[in-house]
Structure 1
Amino acid sequence: MNYAIGIDIGGTKTAIGLVDSEGNVKDKLSLPTDQSVSPSEMVDRMASAVRQLADQAGLSIESLTGIGIGAPGPLNTKLGQISEPPNLRGWWGFPVVEAVKRHFDLPVFFENDATAAALAEKWIGAARNSQHFIYITISTGIGAGIYSHGRLITGASGNAGDVGHFVVAPEAGQCVCGQEGCWEFVASGTAIARQASELLGRPVSTKEAIDLAVSGDHPEMTALIERIFKYIGVGCVTLINTQDPEMLVLGGGVSQVGEPLFNAVKDYVSRYALNPTGRETRIVPAALSQDAGLIGAAALVHVSY
């Protein structure tokens, strides 16, 4: 059995896993993404964690097939750099691939985290039988991985799928990117919590907002969540009209709402996708949840893309 390391770098935590060539996570651990230290120091900690996982599994570093890294964009896969992700400001311009290679004489693969998760869903998840699909993660932000004609579509610098910055509601206010009314500004988990907190005049989590809406006991919250589900539908229709996928795979924390979200999005798509076949696009939940990021990162090593 061949093993690869998957590293999923996030704004608050970094997941690291030892993943075999069938997509099974043999062992894993999580490190806080400590932004009070330099990125180089964080990579040192990641390297120690990789060695710990290999030792626990009785494997030598040299026996590993490679290391895959998924990270939030914008990034530059040609240069191996994390460019300007809003939630990793201390990492801007950091050459992460070069830093990892200082520790290990192994192949290192690097892609946007949503792109990597899309590859994982193709490998062992909900899109195994699809040649044209888009994986959409709706969580802290919104991002996508695009798989078409049997391969990942990554773009010139690895940033294809940065769909959270489609403008869907210009009247809604200014996104961190500077545009007005971006998709993730109005429909991400962060957006839900922000708008619900403004509505109730107290801190409200995404989960609480959705629970209040689904209960039916708070009409204003129900109206808010219905509007957000509509915005999610708007973004999905835009992707269907642009990319003509046969399937959308929805992942991320907000997708855990389940049936209310999926029913609303399917209804919107069935009415507003331009092409008749687009209106019938399958919309399914991601099969991989907690480990999607690190499995996706390891998939960059194990799977041809």
Structure 2
Amino acid sequence: MKYAIGIDIGGTKSAIGLITDTGEVVAKTSIPTDPAVSPYVMVERIAASAMSLISESQIDTSLISGVGIGAPGPLDTRSGRLTVPPNLPSWHDFPLVQEMSRLFPFPVKLENDATAACLAEKWLGAAQDADHFVFITISTGIGAGLYMHGKLITGASGNAGDVGHFVIDPAAGECVCGQRGCWEYIASGTAVARQASEKLGREVSSKEAFDLAAAGDLQMKELVDQVFRYIGIGCVTLINTLDPQKIVIGGGVSQVGEPLFQAVQSYVSAHALNPIGRKTPIVPAALLQDAGLIGAAALVHTEY
């Protein structure tokens, strides 16, 4: 039995786990991603937490095959750096792999977090039967992992799949990236909460907005139906561009469940260009809470 240290770095917390070569999470923990300290301090905390997990689990370090890291982009996997991740401003141009390699006696691999989660869905999740699929995560933002012709498509610098900045509706307002009407600006969980709060004149979470829509609130139903349509538009764009066997959707917004998948499947069936594309299954991710950790470990345990 071999193990990998999986690290999933997020804007608010960083998860650390020990994962076997069969994908079992044998131990895990998480620590706040503290914006008040430098990334150098944070990686020291992450490494210390990982080494504590190894010690507490009584695993011989000779059984650790490596460290896999899923981190928010933009990044540069060639140099092992985070470049300009918007939710981690103090980590801009940070040499993550170099610093992790200094703290760990194991090989270190880095990929975009959505790419790592995509690999997890191929390894153990909803895409085990697919050689051509797209994994989309819809939560705070929207990102994707691309798996085509039996391998991950990561791009020249590791940033392939930044689909949240497809322009869907230029009339909808300005995204943080400077373009107008980006997919994540109008259809992410953050977007739902923002638009619901504007409509109701008070602070509304995305979950409350979806719950109100399900209970019959007409304003919220109109908003949610529009969001489902926007998600459908993005999926059709990906189907027309990449011709996948299936699209796997994860992230917090996917927890809405059947109403989302039914609406998106219906939109795809009506609007994908190719008759084959209109039949593309739109399915929920199988790996939920531990997807980031399993994906990070998959960077070590699988050939991709």
**What TM-score do you get using the length of structure 2 for normalisation?**
0.99
Aligned pairs for 1:130-169 within 5 A? 130-169=130-169
1:23, distance to aligned residue in structure 2 (A) = 0.5
Match status 1:244 vs 2:243: yes
1:142, distance to aligned residue in structure 2 (A) = 0.2
For 1:292, the equivalent position in structure 2 comes to: 291
Report the Cα distance in structure 2 between the residues aligned to 1:268 and 1:81, rounded to whole angstroms: 38
1:248, distance to aligned residue in structure 2 (A) = 0.2
Q: Which runs of 5+ in 1 are unaligned?
A: none
Runs of 4+ in 1 over 4 A off after TM superposition: none
For 1:276, the equivalent position in structure 2 comes to: 275
Q: Which runs of 5+ in 2 are unaligned?
A: none
For 1:28, the equivalent position in structure 2 comes to: 28
Report the Cα distance in structure 2 between the residues aligned to 1:231 and 1:179, rounded to whole angstroms: 16
Equivalent position amino acid for 1:264 in 2: A
Equivalent position amino acid for 1:78 in 2: R
Aligned pairs for 1:48-127 within 5 A? 48-127=48-127
TM-superposition CA deviations, 1:180-229 (whole Å, max 9, x none): 0000000000000000000000000010000000111x101100000000
Residue 50 of structure 1 aligns to a residue in which SS? helix
Equivalent position amino acid for 2:237 in 1: T
TM-superposition CA deviations, 1:136-195 (whole Å, max 9, x none): 000000000000000000000000000000000100100000000000000000000000
Residue 17 of structure 1 aligns to a residue in which SS? strand
For 1:205, the equivalent position in structure 2 comes to: 205
Report the Cα distance in structure 2 between the residues aligned to 1:283 and 1:224, rounded to whole angstroms: 21
Share of identical aligned residues, percent?
64
TM-superposition CA deviations, 1:78-97 (whole Å, max 9, x none): 01001111101110000000
TM-superposition CA deviations, 1:36-70 (whole Å, max 9, x none): 10000000000110111100111233431000000
Report the Cα distance in structure 1 between the residues aligned to 2:191 and 2:289, rounded to whole angstroms: 21
Report the Cα distance in structure 2 between the residues aligned to 1:86 and 1:36, rounded to whole angstroms: 16
Residue 102 of structure 1 aligns to a residue in which SS? helix
Equivalent position amino acid for 2:253 in 1: V
Equivalent position amino acid for 2:226 in 1: R
What RMSD in Å do the two structures reach over aligned CA positions?
A: 0.6
Report the Cα distance in structure 1 between the residues aligned to 2:61 and 2:84, rounded to whole angstroms: 31
